[in-house]
Chains A and B, each alone.
Chain A
């Protein structure tokens, strides 16, 4: 039988089964990045080393709170928690506070986060393009914010 139009069933399982991260680690997905965390707290919440926050979503811990540009979220004992004598940042509580949806696969230790709505508020109100980063086919990182001064057409397509 001839192959159907735009059918690639062979791509359902193109890869060998491999471990997502070393034993005891966790993985966070956010905005196209895959971040492996070598240490996390225990439990169903995602407790991260506060130092890892910046590499995940660009927020920094400051005296006034967890901050991204002018947005600062005050810290409280829901966000900064003690466990086994160590201080952790509760990333899932932070997401809930920011109305940021996420999906967790606890068995695999992977948390996938959608965009933080506050980061897109300028688009939804003032039509300002979101500050996304894409990697082009040559490996160059393209940031929409770096295209200021030029007009840009950003267009999607697909092979299917």
Chain B
């Protein structure tokens, strides 16, 4: 989050907005402190029902869309890391993310339709994930689970979250949001098994970023 704030300040254009939407059923308690630590001035949303992911057919975080002045999407659905992140130390360390996204974003804000990173409507439409009726139904099941959890009915909450995952097995969001509520957490053994399975079956964890260096 601090990275997006830095980028937002560096761009410093009154006609550019960032909307950061936390896909967090834990609500303000889960996402609020992380937002606060970044002192953000961009638009901050705690999106308990994952409405943004649902609206754009995103299946993982971070994902993003660039929307131009006419309301047209000009890039969509890439692993939207704003920099290379390093986690852990020694043998356990991992690095992920990319440094190519930030300059591309800045180029678009400065040059608009002339930016080489703007994609045609046909390319963007082709990059939007086509969700089946079952995958759309998964979003409804997920929201139903959230309602039951808010009302302390955890068995039903789990039932509908599991339904959501079964209907949309591509959703890393659903799998990991559910794993956060387990003892092993969202980055444990089951997460690694899921990643291995995605790799083995050629399922996108993220769509590779198609930006020139």
Interface residues of A (CB under 8 A from B): 3-9, 11-20, 27, 29, 31-32, 34, 99, 101-103, 105, 108, 110, 112-115, 117, 120, 123-130, 132, 134-137, 142, 144-145, 147-160
Contact = CB atoms under 8 A, between A and B. Distances in A.
Interface residues of B, number: 93
Given A103-B144, A127-B124, A130-B56, A8 B62 contact: no
B99 interface: no
B205 interface: no
Contacts of A32: 49, 51, 143
Given A18-B152, A134-B52, A147-B17, A156 B185 contact: no
B144 A112 contact: yes
Interface string B38-49: 000001111101
A155 B62 contact: yes
A7 B137 contact: no
Given A7-B182, A148-B70, A154-B65, A105 B45 contact: no
A117 B135 CA distance: 12
A130 B55 contact: yes
A150 B18 CA distance: 10
B27 to A, nearest CB: 9
B210 to A, nearest CB: 16
14 contacts: A6-B186, A8-B26, A12-B149, A15-B150, A17-B152, A114-B137, A123-B73, A123-B125, A127-B72, A127-B122, A134-B21, A152-B18, A156-B80, A160-B177
A102 to B, nearest CB: 5
